[in-house]
Structures are given as structure tokens and as C-alpha cells.
Amino acid sequence: MAPVAFRGMKPFPQLMFSAFIILVSFLAFMLVSMLLAIPIFGLSSILDIPNINDLTDSSGINVLKYFQVIQSIGLFIIPPIILAWLFQGQISDYLLLNRKSNSKSIFLVMILVLSSLPLINFIGEWNAQMQLPGWLSGMESWMKNAEENAAVLTEAFLKVDNIGGLLFNLFMIALLPAIGEELLFRGVIQRIFCNWTKSHHWGIWISAILFSALHIQFYGFVPRMLLGVLFGYLLVWSGSMWLPVVAHFFNNGFAVVAMYLIDKNILNPGVEEVGATPESRYSAIISLILVFLLMFLIKRENRNNELQLEETTE
């Protein structure tokens, strides 16, 4: 039985309490995972993590992947489950996991994600050209360095030689983030801000900004934020957590599979730049039109399922 003391909390205390639970869960999982990692990888491997420079070393990559999985669970999956239990007592109901999405909506979402890729690439290329004023040159250097390190680590994670490695990457990079990040950002944070501002639009955009900021990849901030906005509207329109989860998984999963096929020389590397290069800019315009058309169709398909703002007492 869930304690009732946390029910009826106003949005700001909910937000602060949520941040506390997220932090405690993350620290607890990291501590336990480090203790469990010692017999698995050896103490020396754990102590060497801050000094891992050779990302071609499979043993070092395996340690990093282990902590990446633990981080996804401790930071994104467990906190929203705890918060849903404390805030309402019914986890699946609070997180909108008990509401199904029809097959037509799921199909439209998959087409939407694919259709959006040229537009996302175009916006990403534009975002990558961002330049800060001269007096912020130190911050700009730090941001670029962080971006480059993240890109190198991601490439090392994605470079696998067999189907087993591909499936694990789909689990680590597509499935866990799709479930965890949607439960946390759309299921909890967006809900809090929607109730606080009494507007789905404000709640969606604020949570999408926080969603993108948490990744600490500034030169991809705008496209990631817009994806967060898209996931937020999918939740509101469908009333189901499963639609944004499917969209998130399909978006990440497509990137994982594409990188695997490119590495195996099965897929042309140019597919990653469609919409970003001058000669393919027309595809970004087509992509924009298709995105709005598909969003309209998805909204219309779910017109009877749209979420309503919660009644709150002042």
C-alpha cells in the first residue's frame, strides 16, 4: 500500500521531491553497481575508468556499457516508478501505461520518425554551426570538447562485429532510453509542468528543453529538443505512454541499425547526411511537409483519446 502523504502535492513541491528521488536513486544504483562490478570486471578495471583513453579496447568498452545500462535504470526507469507509486499509488495508471495505442497510430508514428530524419539532419547541421560571442570562448571550447568526447564514445559503443553486439546496443541505446526517458520526462516531469502551468503546450516544451539539456550535447540541442516536443504531443494526443515510447525506440533503433549496416558496408554512409548537405536540402522541405501531415493524421486518429488537464486544488 502506497503512503498517502505524497498525494495532493502541488507542482513545485512535486518537482523538488522528484529531483530528490532521481538523485538518490542514481547514487544508490551507481554505488551498488560499482560494488557488483568488482567481482565481474576486477577492481583495477573500475579504478581505471577515468583514465580510459583507448576506446578500441573491448574490455574497457564493456565496463562503460555496463555502467551505461545501470545509469539508464537508476536514473530514468526506477525514479518514475517510485514517484508514480508515491504520488498516486497506481503506477500504470499514473504513467499512462495501462492505455493502449492502436496499430494504425503505431504505424503512422514509425512512418513519422522515418520521414522526419532529413528535417532533423537539417536542423542538426544548422545547430552544429552555433557560435558563441568571443567573451564566451572558454565555454564554447568546453562545449565543443564535450560534444566531441560524446561522439567518440557513441561511435565506440556502436562499433560491434556481430548480431549479438547489435542486439545489445538496441537494448542499451534504444530500448532502455525509450522506456526510461519517456517515463521520466513525459510521464512525470511533463505532467508536473502541465499541471503547474495549466497548459499542455508549456508542459511539453519545458520538459523537452530539460530532456535535451540533460544529454549535455549542445550542438545537437535543438533537434533533440524538437524530438522531445514531438514525443510530448504524441503522449497528449494519444493518452498513452506507448506511442512516445515506440517513437523514441524507433528513432534510436534506426540510428543503431543504420550505423551497424554502414560499418558492414551494406548501407551508404550518405544516408546519415540526407537533408544536411546543400544538394539534399530539398529533402528537408519534403520532410517538413510530411511531418506536419503525419502529425495531423495521428492527432485525428486519436481525437477521442486526448489527455485532459488535471483538476488541481489551489
Q: How far is CA 299 from CA 169, 220, 284, in A?
A: 32, 27, 22
Residues 266-291 pLDDT 10s: 988 888 888 888 888 899 999 999 99
- pLDDT exceeds cutoff 80 at 299: yes
Residues 227-271 pLDDT 10s: 999 999 999 999 999 999 999 999 999 999 999 999 988 988 888
Question: What stretch of H or E contains 64?
Answer: helix 58-72
pLDDT band at 54 (very low <50, low <70, confident <90, very high): low
What is the model's pLDDT at position 273?
85
pLDDT band at 306 (very low <50, low <70, confident <90, very high): very high
User: Cβ neighbours of residue 138 under 8 Å, at least 6 residues apart?
Assistant: none
Residues 139-198 pLDDT 10s: 778 778 877 777 788 888 888 889 999 999 999 999 999 999 999 999 999 999 999 999
**Closest Cα partner for 78 from 192, 216, 193, 181?**
181
Which of 132-141, 256-265, 295-304 has the lowest average pLDDT? 132-141
What is the model's pLDDT at position 129?
85
Supply the mean pLDDT for the chain: 89
**Closest Cα partner for 234 from 195, 286, 178, 272?**
178
**Closest Cα partner for 232 from 299, 303, 312?**
299
What is the model's pLDDT at position 311?
67
